[in-house]
Amino acid sequence: MTKESVLVIACGALAKEIVELKRLNGWSHVKIQCLPADLHSRPEKIPGAVRAAIEEYRADYEHMFVAYADCGTGGALDKMLDEFGIERLSGAHCYEFYAGAAEFAALADEEPGTFYLTDFLARHFDRLVKEGLGLDRHPELKSTYFGNYRRLVYLSQSASAELEQAAREHADYLGLEYDHRHTGLEPVGRNLGEHVVQWLN
């Protein structure tokens, strides 16, 4: 059996954006395998899930790349990937590689008490934040979770008036100042592209 060229093992929360980058850049040599998006909220499970995917698919691909940042694993993901000699997206989390490292650092310096949304999180806020943190059942916990935040920054990947309105509503719900920064896909595309283009057929 002939090996395929490149497999990108991606966070399910990035699936829409990674598929769009593949289409826009003509990365026909790249296959994408997404892991469950719910891992975004369970970072302790990310290294094990990525390891399982690597072990399942590595015999079929010449090259593999992981489209996760550290994502709250505290270095555990990098330690595991070092065993296989596989690289990942640079950055501590998706907010950093969506915004770009310099822009994210500026945002963090400007207001450390910032809660961030991406398109995925704006779209699934009720399930991941309200239900995930139990705020739908215990709204009194809102001040416990978010009392030290001052603003919500929506880092948008698409130009969607619907998602922007949803993000504004989420900020209002949390009682935070609202700020919108459109990132598009260029920063994460550059980050990913630095790796996958070296394996172009």
The answer to whether residues 50 and 80 touch, using CB atoms and an 8 Å cutoff, is yes
3-state secondary structure of 29: coil
Q: Are residues 152 and 123 in the same domain?
A: yes
**Euclidean distance between CA atoms 3 and 43, whole angstroms:** 31
Domain containing residue 126: 101-182
Q: Are residues 34 and 67 in the same domain?
A: yes
The answer to whether residues 90 and 77 touch, using CB atoms and an 8 Å cutoff, is no
Q: Are residues 77 and 137 in the same domain?
A: no
Q: Are residues 14 and 85 in the same domain?
A: yes
Within 8 A by CB and 6+ apart from 31, the residues are: 4, 5, 6, 7, 8, 61
pLDDT the model gives residue 1: 36
* CATH number of the domain to which 73 belongs: 3.40.50.920
pTM of the model: 0.87
pLDDT at 183 over 50: yes
Report the number of distinct structural domains present in the chain: 2
Q: Are residues 118 and 60 in the same domain?
A: no
Q: Are residues 79 and 40 in the same domain?
A: yes
Segment 104-160, tens digit of pLDDT = 999 999 999 999 999 999 999 999 999 989 999 999 999 999 999 999 999 999 999
**Euclidean distance between CA atoms 72 and 77, whole angstroms:** 9
Q: Are residues 87 and 57 in the same domain?
A: yes
Q: For residue 65, give both structure tokens.
A: 């790349």
Q: Are residues 66 and 111 in the same domain?
A: no
Q: Are residues 35 and 84 in the same domain?
A: yes
Segment 43-62, tens digit of pLDDT = 999 999 999 999 999 999 98
Q: Are residues 37 and 118 in the same domain?
A: no
